């Protein structure tokens, strides 16, 4: 909960007390603890979750279209005159 400690509030006796941010972190981790544990177990046994399989491939891996090549949308126009603007 690293962020929590730097926001501790000090009282008159200079004893650190919990910030209002700490309760939010505690609620988050209580709510997600089981999911993080399950994810960690799957990583340790080298399995991919069904959730991870649903992600689409990285869009940057698609071949680039040159300015003077036909537009991939199928309009028949050059890319620079169609979707490349």
- The 10s digit of each residue's pLDDT in 55-82 is 666 555 667 888 899 988 888 899 889 8
Instruction: Tell me the residue range of the domain where 4 lies.
Output: 1-55
Cα within 13 Å of Cα(58), Cβ side? 2
Q: What is the pLDDT of residue 84?
A: 80
Going by C-alpha positions, the residue among 19, 31, 63, 30 that lies closest to residue 6 is 19
Number of domains in the chain: 1
- β 16-17/9-10 pair status: antiparallel
Specify the pTM. Answer: 0.31
60 within domain boundaries: no
- Residue 16 counted as domain residue: yes
- Rounded CA separation 75/71 (Å): 7
Q: What are phi and psi of 20, to 5 degrees?
A: -65, -20
How many Å apart are CA 32 and CA 39, to the nearest integer? 11
């Amino acid at each position: 909960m690293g962020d929590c400690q730097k926001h501790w509030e000090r009282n008159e006796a200079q004893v650190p007390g919990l910030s209002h941010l700490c309760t939010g972190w505690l609620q988050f981790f209580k709510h997600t603890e089981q999911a993080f544990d399950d994810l960690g177990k799957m990583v340790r046994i080298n399995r991919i979750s069904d959730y991870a399989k649903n992600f689409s491939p990285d869009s940057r891996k698609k071949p680039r279209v040159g300015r003077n090549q036909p537009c991939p949308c199928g309009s028949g126009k050059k890319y620079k005159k169609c979707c490349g603007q």
